Amino acid sequence: MLSVLSRSFSRSSKNSLGNRSVLIVGAGVAGPVLAYFLHRYGVHPVVVERTPQLRTTGQTVDVRGAGREVVRRMGVNSVIREKITREDGLALVDSAGRTQAAFGVKDFGGQGFIADIEILRGELVNILYEQSRNHTQYIFGDHPSSINDQGDHVQVTFASGNIRDFDLVIGADGIRSKTRRLLFSDKSPIHYLNMYTAYFTIPYSQSDGTWARWYNAPKGRTVLIRPDNQGTTRAFLTFRSSQRGYEELDPDMQKELLQKVFADAGFETPRVLNGLMNSNDFYFEAIGQVKMDQWSRGRVTLVGDAGYCASPVSGMGTTLAFVGAYILAGEIGRHHDHTEAFRQYEALMRPYVTKAQKLIPGSIHVASPQTSTGIAFRNALLSFVARPAVTRLLTKLTESKTAEKVTLPDYEIVLAQ
Ligand SMILES: Cc1cc2nc3c(=O)[nH]c(=O)nc-3n(C[C@H](O)[C@H](O)[C@H](O)COP(=O)(O)OP(=O)(O)OC[C@H]3O[C@@H](n4cnc5c(N)ncnc54)[C@H](O)[C@@H]3O)c2cc1C
Ligand SMILES: *[C@@H]1O[C@H](CO)[C@@H](O)[C@H](O)[C@H]1NC(C)=O
C-alpha cells in the first residue's frame, strides 16, 4: 500500500505546496480534524463557521475502528479518554421500566451498540478545535454566500461581504451542506429514512443510574435516556413518519409536534416531555443518508456528513468524519494536483463509506418496530443475543469486520521520503 502511495509523490512538488490556502466550511468534527492535518502537511487552513461560537450541542457520538487510529495520530486520545461518558451499557426496557435485555460496554469488543469511545458531541468538537486552533485561522459567524471556481483558484464571497481567494474549498458543513448546494445544484442527494429524531438535555433523575435505557413504544416511537458525565441526562426521541418537512418547522412547533406524537408513549416519557419544554439545547433532524456519485467538482470537495452522511442509525457518522478528513488532508498534502488528490481521496474512502452506509437489512425495523408485537419480537430477539455465547460469537464477527474496513496510509512516512 505504502509503496503505491509514495510512487506518485515527488519531493519537488512538496516544497511548492507550502503556500497553498484551503478554506474549510464548518467547524464540526470533520472541519477541525482536516485543519489539524493540513497544517501538519504544510498547507494553510482557514475555517469558517456559520454560528457565532463553536456549536457544541448534540448527544453522545461514538468513534470506532479506524476513527480511533486517527484520534491517536492527532494526539487527542488521552484528552478524549478523560471525557468519555462511561456508561456501563445499554438496557432495553418495557413500559414499566423493567429490563428486557442488557448489553455491557465490553460486549462486542467495545464496538457494539455502545462503543468504548462514547463522548458528548460538544466535548469532542471542543477538543478538536483546541487541538487545531493554534495553526488555523477560525472565522465565526460568517459563511460563504457564493463559491466561484476560477480554474486556477477559488473566489469565495462571504455573507459579511468579504471576498477572498483560496486554492481549494472543502465543505465540512454537515448533512444540509450549503457548500454542496452551491456546488451541485441538481436534486438533493439526501435519502430520507422516514424517521425523525430530537436530542436535548433534561435533569438527572435517580432512575437514570449508569446505564442508557432504550424504550420502544408502538407506532415506531423510541425513547432513549442516557446519563451523561455532567450531572444531567441526555434524552433522544425518534419516531417514524413518511410525512416530509418537519425539520423545516421552527423549534417551538417541533416541540409541540413531539408532545403530540409521544403523548401516550408510556415509560418515563412524561418526564422527558417536561424536560423537553425546558431544554435550551434542543436539536431536531430528519434522519437521512447523503449519497453522491462524486464528492468533488473542480477545486471544491466535501468531507464528513456533507458528502456522505451515514445517519445515526449506522453509528458511523463521526468515524467517517475522522477518517475522511484524515485521508483528504493526506492526499492534498502529497499531491500538488488537486484533481489527483481528490481522485485518490475518493478511491480510498468510497468503499469504506459504502460499507458504513449499508444498514443491516431491516435494522430500522429492529431499532423501532411499528407494533407491540414487533417490539416483543425484537426484545425477544435481543435477549437471545445478550446470552454470553452469542455475544462472544458476535464479538468475533464484528472484530473481523472492523479490521478489514479501511487501511489508513501513513502520510508522515510518505511525506518524509
Ligand atoms: C448541532 C448538531 C448536533 C448533533 N448531534 C448529534 C448527535 O447527538 N448524535 C449523532 O450521532 N450525531 C449528531 N450530529 C451529527 C454528527 O456531528 C455528525 O454526524 C458527525 O460528527 C460528522 O460531523 P461533520 O463534521 O461532518 O458535521 P457536523 O458535526 O454536522 O458539523 C457541521 C458544522 O458546519 C456548520 N455549518 C453548517 N452550515 C454552514 C455554512 N453554510 N457555513 C459555515 N458553517 C456551516 C455547522 O454549524 C456545524 O458546526 C449533530 C450535528 C450537529 C450540527
Ligand atoms: C497552543 O498554544 C498555547 C500557547 O502558546 C499552548 O499553551 C498550547 O499548548 C498550544 N496548544 C496545542 C494543542 O499545541
Residue 132 alpha carbon, nearest atom of ligand 2:
13
pLDDT at position 404: 46
Please report, in tens digits, the pLDDT of each residue of the chain (417 residues total). Answer: 333 333 333 333 444 445 899 999 999 999 999 999 999 999 999 999 999 999 988 778 888 889 999 999 999 999 999 988 778 888 889 999 999 888 777 666 655 656 667 888 999 999 999 999 999 999 999 999 999 999 999 999 999 999 999 999 999 999 999 999 999 877 889 999 888 999 999 999 999 999 989 898 888 898 999 998 889 999 999 998 989 999 999 999 999 999 999 999 999 999 999 999 999 899 999 999 999 999 999 999 999 999 999 988 777 899 999 999 999 999 999 998 999 999 999 999 999 999 888 876 556 666 666 666 666 666 666 665 555 655 555 555 555 444 446 778 888 776 665
pLDDT at position 229: 83
pLDDT at position 104: 78
Q: Ligand 1 pocket: which of 29, 57, 238 to mutate (most atoms <8 Å of CB)?
A: 29
Grid cell at residue 334 = 502529497
Residue 130 alpha carbon, nearest atom of ligand 2:
13
| Residue 359 per-residue DSSP state | P
Question: Which residues in the chain are classed under CATH 3.50.50.60?
Answer: 2-85+117-190+289-361+409-416
CA atoms of 362 and 369, how far apart (whole Å)? 10
Q: How far is the CA of 47 from the centre of ligand 1 (A)?
A: 14
Q: How far is the CA of 78 from the centre of ligand 2 (A)?
A: 16
Q: How far is the CA of 15 from the centre of ligand 1 (A)?
A: 34
Using DSSP's 3-state secondary structure scheme, residue 88 falls into: coil
Q: How far is the CA of 232 from the centre of ligand 2 (A)?
A: 30
In 3D space, the residue among 225, 215, 211, 190 whose CA is nearest the CA of residue 367 turns out to be 215
Question: Which residues in the chain are classed under CATH 3.30.9.30?
Answer: 192-287
CA atoms of 9 and 347, how far apart (whole Å)? 16
Residue 278's φ and ψ, nearest 5 degrees, are -100, 0
Show the ligand 2 pocket: residues with CB < 6 angstroms: 131, 134
pLDDT at position 5: 37
The protein residue whose alpha carbon is closest to atom 1 in ligand 2 is: 134
Using DSSP's 3-state secondary structure scheme, residue 9 falls into: coil
pLDDT at position 280: 87
Q: Identify which ligand lies nearest to the alpha carbon of 39.
A: 2
CA atoms of 112 and 110, how far apart (whole Å)? 6
Amino acid at 102: A
Residue 333's φ and ψ, nearest 5 degrees, are -60, -35
Q: In what order do the strands lie in the sheet with 89-93?
A: 99-104, 89-93, 211-217, 221-227, 232-240, 190-203, 283-290
Provide the β-strand partners of residue 343: none
Start-to-end CA distance of the chain, whole Å, equals 15
CA atoms of 106 and 408, how far apart (whole Å)? 25
The protein residue whose alpha carbon is closest to atom 10 in ligand 2 is: 134
Handedness of CA 262, 265, 269, 270 (dihedral sign): positive
CATH number of 2-85+117-190+289-361+409-416: 3.50.50.60
Residue for grid cell 443510574: 209
193: buried, middle or exposed (CB in 10 Å: 19+, 13-18, 0-12)? middle
Q: How far is the CA of 131 from the centre of ligand 2 (A)?
A: 8
Residue 55 alpha carbon, nearest atom of ligand 1:
49
Residue 317 alpha carbon, nearest atom of ligand 1:
19
The full length of the chain comes to 417
Q: How far is the CA of 134 from the centre of ligand 2 (A)?
A: 6
Q: Identify which ligand lies nearest to the alpha carbon of 79.
A: 2
CATH fold of 192-287 reads D-Amino Acid Oxidase; Chain A, domain 2 (3.30.9)
pLDDT at position 401: 47
The protein residue whose alpha carbon is closest to atom 12 in ligand 2 is: 131
Q: What is the DSSP string of 229-288?
A: SSSEEEEEEEEE-----GGGS-HHHHHHHHHHHTTT--TTHHHHHHHHHH-SS-EEEEEE
- Contact (CB, 8 A) for 179 and 25: yes
Which pairing describes strands 300-302 and 296-297: parallel, antiparallel, or unpaired? Answer: antiparallel
In 3D space, the residue among 155, 151, 157 whose CA is nearest the CA of residue 166 turns out to be 155
What angle do the packed helices 269-278 and 251-261 form, to 10 degrees?
170
Grid cell at residue 243 = 410525512
Give the pTM: 0.88
Residue 75 alpha carbon, nearest atom of ligand 2:
13
The protein residue whose alpha carbon is closest to atom 51 in ligand 1 is: 58
Show the ligand 1 pocket: residues with CB < 6 angstroms: 25-31, 48-51, 55, 57-59, 61, 121, 143, 172-174, 178, 199, 283, 304-306, 312, 317-318, 321
